[in-house]
Structure 1
Amino acid sequence: MTRPVVGIVGYHHEVPRPFGTLPVSGAPTSYAEAVRAAGGLPVLLPLEDALALLGIVDAVVLTGGADVGADPARDRAELHVARAVVGADLPTLGVCRGLQVLAVAHGGTLRGVPGHLLPEEGHRVRTAPGSLVRRLLGAPVRTSALHQQAVDEPGPCWHATAWTGDDTVEALEPTDPSWPVLGVQWHPELVRQPFRDGTGPAIFGWLVSGAAARGRRRDGRPLVAGRR
């Protein structure tokens, strides 16, 4: 059975080692695990090369991490990717910071939000009627809550489709229904306590299904063969 290729955009961090600090490019393994569990083949895209590598993948994940503005080099690279995926018609999932990058890349703004670092209990989110997140998750859903920044104004390309009780934006979907893009402010890739989030199978299932459909439409490159 063929497996669609899902590119996970990596970033730089440093790992303490006995001989000193080791620079590393990567992403939390939970993203690859979530893609794999949904039937996709995860591939890490090094930050500097992610834009050039979009042509070899069937979908993209923009991951969570530090606030937008904390790492200007990462911001620049991911903003380029966030603009390019739209033109490439690539199914794309933005997770937490990834949602914020999607917003900023297309004219949105951000703000600080207190009270949203709730690693164990998470919070309840309401979804908009007719939205993709409503179709995937239902009307009320409990999600993880691990952020201190959120969307203020989505910008002209997005509309908000999920909110917490204090009206913090928790999901973005494109105003153009032909764009296969979804941004969520929570962390659907988390599957282990105490940070477990139950939305992962539906969210990553949507992404991998879109990737599979796009892969079948591609010319000149077969999907990677493998077993689910």
Structure 2
Amino acid sequence: MTKPLIGVTTYLNPAAWGLWNMPAALLPAQYPALVQRAGGLAAMIPPDPDPDSAPAVLARLDALIVAGGADVEPRRYGAERDPRTGPAAPERDAWELALIHAALAARVPLLGICRGMQLLNVALGGTLRQHLDGHTGGEGVFTSHTVKPVPGTRYASIVPYATEVPSYHHQAVDRVAEGLTVSAYAEDGTVEAVEVASGGWGVGVQWHPEMGREVGVVGALVEAARA
């Protein structure tokens, strides 16, 4: 059986390797490794300066993962910047929002991870909480917490029981966009997963599945891509 091609969005940051120190499109290796363990082929999708190229990119993919990373620029959801919100990533915001809209329009299976889930909510008109405590183990340290699925949702059909997930985030969904259904919560009430209510396979998770051992939602994405 042909393996589906899963595009994964990338960071755009200064990086150093060998003798070089320059801007780089990069991605933590755990992302493609998880796609590969789940049975897919991984392709890195760096920001394109022309967001109108998004439909052409999606036409060549079987599914899309919008990866974690920088905080979403608050003006994208009509909010003033909180002092605790991190530096903007305007190239990623513009490109990944265009990819999300193109994926939804073309019904290409879509998974948003952390920032990717937040962008999915913003793309459809929702808002974000710009800071919450207790979802990191300190600067640069992942923690874990329990996520409980909402019965009857797509996520609950993938993982029907409460589970410990790896996380590192200080922002989360606030007002849920129309067209999205909440499909998992943390014990403190934080929205931990959302899904597109109709019109194709689209899921967002607040945690970082690439840091865990199970294929979980990425396995389900790959199966949707096969279909």
Query: Which residue among 186, 189, 195 is the counterpart of 2:207?
Result: 186
Count of aligned pairs between the two proteins: 205
Write the deviation string for residues 139-168 of structure 1: whole angstroms up to 9, x where unpaired: 311111200000001110112111111111
Rounded to whole Å, the distance in 2 between the matches of 1:26 and 1:121 is 23
2:11 aligned partner = 11
More strand by share: 1
Displacement of 1:121 in angstroms is 4.2
Provide structure 2 residue ranges, at least 5 long, that are not aligned to the other structure.
74-87
Aligned equivalents of 2:132 and 2:219: distance in 1?
29
- Which residue pairs with 1:226 in the alignment? none
- Amino acid aligned to 1:133: Y
| Alpha-carbon distance in 1 for matches of 2:27, 2:17 | 18
CA 1:129 to 1:84, structure 2 compared with 1: closer, same or farther past 3 Å? same
Residue matched to 2:163: 141
> Per the alignment, in what secondary structure is the counterpart of residue 146 of structure 2?
strand
Aligned residue runs from structure 1 range 18-167, under 5 A: 19=19, 21-48=21-48, 51=54, 52-69=56-73, 70-111=88-129, 112-118=131-137, 119=141, 121-167=143-189
Contact conserved, 1:128 with 1:139, CA < 8 A, in 2? no
Unaligned 5+ runs, structure 1: 191-196, 214-228
**Superposed displacement of residue 17, structure 1:** 4.6
Structure 2 match to 1:203:
217
CA contact (8 A) 2:143 2:168 kept: no
Match of 1:222 in 2: none
Quick one: distance in 2 between partners of 1:74 and 1:166?
30
CA distance 1:27–1:17, shift in 2 (3 Å):
closer
Could you say what the CA RMSD is over the residues aligned between the two structures, in angstroms?
1.6
- Partner letter of residue 128 of structure 2? L
- 1:72 deviates by 1.7
Cα distance in 2 between the residues matched to 1:188 and 1:20: 31
On the 8 A contact 2:35/2:218 being kept in 1, the answer is yes
- Normalised by the length of structure 1, the TM-score is 0.85
Where does structure 1 differ by over 6 angstroms across 4 or more consecutive aligned residues?
A: none
Change (3 A) 1:120 1:96: closer
1:71-101 CA-partner distances (Å, limit 9, x unpaired): 1221111111111110011001100000001
CA distance in 2, matches of 1:16, 1:166: 39
Q: CA deviation at 1:204?
A: 1.2
Q: Given the two structures, how large is their TM-score scaled by the length of structure 2?
A: 0.85
